[in-house]
């Protein structure tokens, strides 16, 4: 059985011990994120390592999740897969943040212990698209279906919305 993930982590101490955490976090435990989702079932898979680079403590690793968002084109559900790698440098101030290497995002520590869920939630929120959309032309497809329904209502074409097209093609030759 997997070890349970800790609720609070002490990232500086973890990095000194070279600790690694992997496991699953339930999406419905992430309140800010859940508010943006159509459905909050499922889990986030995380695998992160706490390390030292010289005097700098870092957290690096990855997270994976499938999130149910609302497509901004058709307002229906779209599944957005996140597979994000990140590297955070632990700093105490904005000045220290400015000194970090460019491959490292700053995580400003305001207390010794921080919430693992909030850390992961922040990374997920950063990975969300501003305008989630289906990767196909969902609105046009919607119109085709709507037209087909209209045809049905007029009883021109009771079964197959494409049979009209097929007929047109056949007689067009
Ligand atoms: Zn859509």
Ligand 1 mean position to 161 CA, how many Å?
21
Ligand 1 mean position to 164 CA, how many Å?
26
| CA distances to 18, 42, 76, 90, 117 from 30, in Å | 26, 11, 22, 22, 7
Ligand 1 mean position to 134 CA, how many Å?
4
Q: What is the pTM of this model?
A: 0.77
Mean pLDDT (the chain, rounded): 87
Asked whether residue 144 carries a pLDDT value surpassing 90, the answer given is: no
pLDDT at 15: 97
pLDDT at 3: 55
Interior CA angle at 39 toward 142 and 6, to 5°? 150
CB atoms within 10 A of CB 93: 11
Ligand 1 mean position to 75 CA, how many Å?
6
Ligand 1 mean position to 142 CA, how many Å?
9
- Contact between residue 1 and residue 37 where contact means Cβ atoms under 8 Å apart: no
Ligand 1 mean position to 78 CA, how many Å?
7
CA distance 44 to 30: 10
Ligand 1 mean position to 69 CA, how many Å?
10
Chain segment 52-97, per-residue pLDDT in tens: 999 999 999 999 999 999 999 999 999 999 999 999 999 999 999 9
pLDDT at 104: 94
Ligand 1 mean position to 156 CA, how many Å?
28
Asked whether residue 157 carries a pLDDT value surpassing 60, the answer given is: no
Residue 31 pLDDT level (bands cut at 50, 70, 90): very high
Residue 1 pLDDT level (bands cut at 50, 70, 90): very low
């Amino acid at each position: 059985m997997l070890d349970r993930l800790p609720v609070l982590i002490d990232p500086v101490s973890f990095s000194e011990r070279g600790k690694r955490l992997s496991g699953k976090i339930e999406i419905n435990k992430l309140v800010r994120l859940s508010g943006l989702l159509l459905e909050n079932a499922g889990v986030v898979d995380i695998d992160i390592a706490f390390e030292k680079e010289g005097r700098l403590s870092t957290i690096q690793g990855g997270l994976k999740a499938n999130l149910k968002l609302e497509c901004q084109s058709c307002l229906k559900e779209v599944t957005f897969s996140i597979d994000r790698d990140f590297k955070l440098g632990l700093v105490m101030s904005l000045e220290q943040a400015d000194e970090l290497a460019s491959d490292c995002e700053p995580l400003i520590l305001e207390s010794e212990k921080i919430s693992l869920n909030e850390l992961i939630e922040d990374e997920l929120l950063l990975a969300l698209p501003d305008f989630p959309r289906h990767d196909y032309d969902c609105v046009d497809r919607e119109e085709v279906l709507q037209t087909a329904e209209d045809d049905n209502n007029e009883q021109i074409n009771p079964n197959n919305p494409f049979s009209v097209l097929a007929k047109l093609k056949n007689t067009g030759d």
